[in-house]
């Protein structure tokens, strides 16, 4: 909840007037270049939200529709708007002259209404700046730094938490010649956050699951209308592709069993992607003559996990399945088994060599500068031949195979491979599934003016006549004001 610049005494008075059976709603409109234009207002209708009505991953641009008396041609005259494009506006409202901010933004356009001596002023919050502006370049490399830089470029304030997700460095991010709003959506996707401008016009970024606990309660006495909306969408299987062909995956089997498979494939900028190992040069064919055959690799100095392995492979009339197994090194031989990849159908291998992708549903945690073994398991290939491509330069004991209950190494063979991991991509995939794996009840509440609630406020709902109760988070707010009435409309998601 927010009370603008009210003092503690004024806040107590505001709360008291909020609860009065007979209230005196008031408001103030400030327009850049005009100052206080409250006397001209006929009606105000504002709406803000965590996401646009298009759904997950789409930023919402807040809007305000203001009807004004155009007496003396103050706002529109001789076919021309007297209000400069992108003039800043701010709206306060409350009771008996105790007003708090509910909207800050920009004038988008202004039009007369037929023959009436009135005009409609359409406004957007500062997210509209991001929609209209192209990014030329950025010298910043963390979500927090990039977002703050974008806010500085358009002259708006930001308040972004200095946590791990917001301050991890991007390895690569190309934002040149893109709309700012698209860049922000990509960044929010990569850290599973939402962003919006608050009532004061300050840019905010929050984890999608965050909520601000309040003591406010919607009940039978302060709610005019309550409507059940469609439940939130279900996502129970998420693939985060952080580099072409490299991805982390997370799924919830219980949700899949209950609601069927609901998959989402998301491309995000490369967030601190771990390069683990690679050998990419070489063109010698190597048939996999043994059920278990592979190579030794040493993890790079920045390694922490493995989620994807690319192997250069082809097939010849092969049928059955292949998987990859990662082992710890024990005396220059495979030791403890650390993980097994998903199965790949050998019948899908091409006739020419191609980079084949093997992914681990549970990423493998590894240590930097440490030896490991990557072994191809072809024991389920029943027909045909599977080939890998190798580098045959001089090298000692990098190739290994299993035969007659023993491991054997060979020299001058090294299977072509690329191995990477991304703990942040896995965390995002896990967060998305955790948030969306079950449907959440959504409701719309119409109430006689509750100006001090905010997006992401968690409130109590106890509407006995409809049997609706629990804790809900506000995800969309609308204010409708005239000189006689003031109504708020909230869209809420149940959290418990």
Is the pLDDT reported for residue 446 higher than 60? yes
Mean residue pLDDT across the chain = 92
Confidence of residue 418 (pLDDT cuts 50, 70, 90): very high
Q: Which residue has the higher pLDDT, 48 or 71?
A: 48
Confidence of residue 163 (pLDDT cuts 50, 70, 90): confident
Pick from 143, 149, 23: nearest CA to 488 = 23
pLDDT at 171: 65
Cα dihedral across residues 254, 260, 261, 263: positive or negative: negative
Q: In the numeric block, which tokens belong to residue 371?
A: 């030896």
What is the phi/psi pair of residue 151, to 5°?
Answer: -65, -40
Identify the bridge partners of residue 170 per DSSP, sorted by sequence position: 271
pLDDT at 116: 73
The single-letter DSSP state of residue 426 is H
The answer as to CATH 2.30.300.10 being correct for domain 8-125+445-494 is yes
Per-domain boundaries in the chain: 8-125+445-494, 132-206, 237-270+426-436, 274-421
The answer to whether 386 and 288 are in contact (CB under 8 A) is yes
Q: Which residue has the higher pLDDT, 54 or 402?
A: 402
The answer to whether 472 and 188 are in contact (CB under 8 A) is no
Write out the DSSP string of 435-451: HHSS---EEEEEES--T
pLDDT at 158: 95
pLDDT at 422: 87
pLDDT tens column, 288-328: 999 999 999 999 998 889 999 999 999 999 999 999 999 99
With the CA atoms of 252, 257, 261 and 267 taken in that order, what torsion angle do they form, in degrees rounded to the nearest 10?
Answer: 0
Is the pLDDT reported for residue 121 higher than 90? yes
Cα–Cα distance, 300 to 370 (Å, whole number): 8
Neighbours of 496 (CB within 10 A): 8
Record the pTM.
0.86
Is the pLDDT reported for residue 174 higher than 70? no
Is the pLDDT reported for residue 277 higher than 80? yes
Cα–Cα distance, 80 to 110 (Å, whole number): 9
Confidence of residue 211 (pLDDT cuts 50, 70, 90): very high
**Distance of alpha carbon 484 from its chain centroid, rounded?**
40
Cα–Cα distance, 495 to 469 (Å, whole number): 11
pLDDT at 269: 64
Buried b (16+ CB within 10 A) or exposed e, 204-226: bbbbbeebbebebebeeebbeeb
With the CA atoms of 75, 76, 80 and 85 taken in that order, what torsion angle do they form, in degrees rounded to the nearest 10?
Answer: 30
Is the pLDDT reported for residue 129 higher than 90? no
pLDDT at 271: 59
The topology under which CATH files domain 132-206 is: Phage tail protein beta-alpha-beta fold (3.55.50)
Confidence of residue 172 (pLDDT cuts 50, 70, 90): low
Is the pLDDT reported for residue 270 higher than 90? no
pLDDT at 351: 94
The answer to whether 362 and 249 are in contact (CB under 8 A) is no
Q: In the numeric block, which tokens belong to residue 24?
A: 């005196």
Percent of the chain with pLDDT over 90: 75
Could you give the maximum distance between any two Cα atoms of the chain, in Å?
A: 99
Instruction: Tell me which residue has tokens 């498979």.
Output: 261
- The pLDDT of 68-78, averaged and rounded, is 89
Which class in CATH covers the domain with range 274-421? Answer: mainly beta
Q: What proportions of the chain, in percent to the nearest 5, are helix, strand and coil?
A: 15, 50, 35
- The pLDDT of 410-424, averaged and rounded, is 94
Is the pLDDT reported for residue 274 higher than 90? no
- The pLDDT of 394-405, averaged and rounded, is 95
Cα–Cα distance, 300 to 399 (Å, whole number): 19
pLDDT at 371: 97
Is the pLDDT reported for residue 52 higher than 80? yes
Pick from 436, 452, 440, 449: nearest CA to 492 = 440
- The pLDDT of 119-141, averaged and rounded, is 85
Q: In the numeric block, which tokens belong to residue 3?
A: 């009370």
Angle ∠(168,172,173) on CA atoms, nearest 5: 90
Cα–Cα distance, 295 to 356 (Å, whole number): 16
């Amino acid at each position: 909840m927010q009370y603008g610049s009210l003092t503690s005494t004024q806040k107590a008075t505001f709360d008291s007037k909020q609860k009065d059976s007979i209230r005196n709603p008031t408001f103030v409109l400030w327009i850049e270049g005009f100052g206080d234009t409250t006397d001209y207002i006929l009606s105000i209708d504002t709406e803000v939200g965590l996401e646009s009505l298009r759904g997950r991953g789409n930023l919402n641009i807040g809007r305000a529709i203001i009807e004004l008396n155009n007496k003396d041609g103050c706002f529109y005259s001789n076919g021309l708007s007297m209000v400069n494009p992108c003039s800043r506006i701010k709206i306060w409202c409350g009771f008996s002259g105790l007003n708090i901010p509910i909207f800050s933004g920009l004038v988008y356009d202004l039009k007369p209404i037929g023959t009436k001596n009135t005009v409609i002023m359409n406004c957007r919050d500062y997210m509209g700046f991001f929609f209209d502006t192209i990014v030329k370049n950025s010298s910043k490399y963390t979500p927090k730094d990039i977002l703050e830089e974008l806010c500085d470029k358009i002259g708006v304030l930001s308040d972004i938490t200095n946590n791990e997700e917001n301050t991890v460095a991007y390895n690569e991010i190309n934002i040149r010649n893109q709309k700012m709003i698209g860049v922000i959506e990509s960044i929010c996707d990569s850290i599973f956050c939402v962003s919006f401008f608050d009532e004061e016009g300050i840019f905010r970024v929050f984890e999608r699951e965050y909520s601000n606990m309040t003591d406010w309660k919607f009940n039978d006495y302060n709610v005019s209308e309550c409507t059940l909306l469609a439940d939130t969408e279900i996502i129970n299987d998420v693939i985060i592709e952080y580099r072409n062909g490299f991805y982390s995956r997370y799924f919830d089997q219980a949700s899949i069993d209950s609601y069927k498979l609901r998959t989402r494939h998301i491309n995000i900028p490369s967030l601190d992607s771990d390069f683990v190992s690679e050998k990419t040069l070489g063109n010698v064919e190597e048939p996999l003559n043994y059920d278990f055959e592979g190579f030794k690799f040493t993890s790079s100095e920045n390694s922490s996990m493995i989620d994807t392995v690319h192997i250069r492979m082809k097939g010849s009339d092969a049928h059955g399945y292949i998987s990859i197994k990662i082992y710890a090194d024990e005396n220059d031989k495979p030791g403890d088994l650390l993980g097994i990849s998903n199965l790949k159908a050998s019948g899908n291998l091409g006739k020419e060599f191609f980079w084949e992708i093997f992914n681990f549903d549970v990423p493998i945690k590894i240590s930097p500068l440490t030896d490991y073994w990557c072994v191809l398991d072809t024991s389920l290939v029943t027909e045909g031949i599977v080939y890998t491509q190798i580098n045959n330069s001089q090298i000692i004991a990098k190739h290994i195979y299993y035969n007659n209950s023993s491991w054997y190494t060979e020299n001058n063979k090294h299977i072509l491979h690329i191995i990477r991991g991304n703990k942040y991509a896995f965390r995002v995939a896990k967060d998305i599934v955790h948030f969306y794996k079950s449907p959440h009840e959504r409701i719309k509440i119409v109430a006689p003016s509750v100006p001090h609630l905010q997006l992401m406020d968690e409130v109590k709902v106890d509407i006995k006549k409809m049997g609706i109760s629990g804790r809900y988070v506000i995800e969309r707010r609308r204010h409708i004001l005239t000189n006689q009435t003031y109504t708020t409309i909230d869209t809420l998601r149940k959290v418990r």
